[in-house]
Amino acid sequence: MPEPLRRDFLKMVPLAAVASAQPSHGAAPNFVVIVTDDQGIGDVGCYGHPEVRTPNLDRLAASGVRFTQWYSNAPICSASRAAILTGQFPDRAGVKGALTSEPTWNVPGLRAGEITLPRLLAERGYRTAAFGKWHLGSAPPSRPMSQGFDEFFGWYSGWLDAYSHRYYQLGSPPGKIFHDLWRNDTEVFEEPAYMTELLAHEAQAFLARQTSQKPFLLYLAFGAPHYSMMAPKKYLDRFPATMDRDRRMHLAMVAAVDDAVGGILNQLKQQGMEENTVVWFQSDNGATREVRASSDGKPYHGGSNAPYRGWKQGLFDGGMHVPAMLRAPGHVKANQVWDRPMMSMDLLPTFLALADPSAKAPEHVDGRDILPVLRGEAQPHESIYWSFEKQRAVRSGDWKLILNPPSYPGDELTDTVWLSNLEADPGEKTNLAAQHPDRVKEMTAKIRAWERAVHLEPE
């Protein structure tokens, strides 16, 4: 057996031995998909960061599978969310980078008639709801209720002020400031409710209305811990006043999300839905270095992608190697850790298979059902790919190649090609490109072939 495949097989054995439990039969499972914004893998306690207070996320991880090599499909919000909902590489889905935010409500995003997870589940009798950050287009064909959701409570823009629920972007006068909170197609005003708590309330109210007679999908996309950096005092008080100011605020915002997750888990248990509800959690991309998030006008350092290099908007692992966990009673047992790479686009085919075992994912879907992989019945992806602006990256086995790698303040690069072996160097500190020119050539060819496949112009 070739060494990379042998290593993959060995890493699959612990989970495969227990994930072969027979799934429960009967009613189709419910789905709760929770997405946070700019939360690094170093911003969750169960990933080895004891200063972070996330008891409910830790509880969720312990109740199923914690993924240590889960990748977002992009190091930026709109593109990463498009992959979750379409099962496609963002470039194929036509959503690249971060969409603009405009008070004209005509920003195109997801295409009219796109095959999405909520649409596929709705066709199978599911009630579907999207709460929180959308950022996949504000033009009518791109809005949640045009993309398969029955109801929507949230905003279209890239972020909101956590209390006034207004989007603002300063700069050349007059800048942009506008209110952006909607229930279905009606603008609503809930200020000064703290947005994370407001979303938690809406999510629990939705769950309270559900019964075992009709399965549901709840897509809950928090705006935290993305800028604007705000949290009530009760969350700040959970962390030492001596802690770095930006880190303390960041972790307070994460703590508010964690409380919301706890409320959702408790609501499911209270309603007797715990054993028939699949719960998924992940961040949309890694923590950011953007100055706008900092309290001192310097590059932001409140979030953590440790031990990985890089940040949001970059294709070093810190940009898209995110925390992720799955609770799926009857399909995966508790206290499992999966240590091989998978991607956000895998969620659609996985959930479709859980909802309807006889269904096949649409041909254009790039993701794959992860449950046979977790059971050791199939291999993980041979290669996975990313793009962001001029950057391109591919991971094949433990090798990763980045073309036009990113620079950050304090981590400036002049290299245009960066090759790493992630098994030996998970922090991508050493560039092996000069030592392995044939591998660089081979992996560059893979990137070029992928660009053609997803209709992406080469850089």
Catalytic residue numbers?
77, 135
Q: How many whole angstroms separate alpha carbon 109 and alpha carbon 112?
A: 9
Q: What are phi and psi of 398, to 5 degrees?
A: -100, 0
> At 253, is the secondary structure helix, strand, or coil?
helix
DSSP secondary structure letters along 22-48: PPP-SSPPEEEEEEESS--GGGSGGGT
Q: How many whole angstroms separate alpha carbon 31 and alpha carbon 45?
A: 24
Residue 155 CA, distance from chain mean position? 18
Contact criterion met (CB below 8 Å) for 379 and 12: no
Contact criterion met (CB below 8 Å) for 287 and 318: yes
Residue 344 CA, distance from chain mean position? 7
Q: How many whole angstroms separate alpha carbon 314 and alpha carbon 172?
A: 27
3-state SS record for 272-313: CCHHHEEEEEEECCCCCCCHHHCCCCCCCCCCCCCCCCCCCC
**First and final C-alpha spacing in the chain:** 36
Q: Residue 49 corresponds to which tokens in the numbers above? A: 């960061």
Report which of 343, 231, 226, 344 is spatially closest to residue 287, judged by C-alpha positions. 226
Contact criterion met (CB below 8 Å) for 29 and 276: yes
Distances (CA, A) of 83 to 159, 320, 366: 19, 13, 9
> b/e for 347-359, b at 16 or more Cβ within 10 A?
bbbbbbbbbeeee
Q: How many whole angstroms separate alpha carbon 341 and alpha carbon 8?
A: 10
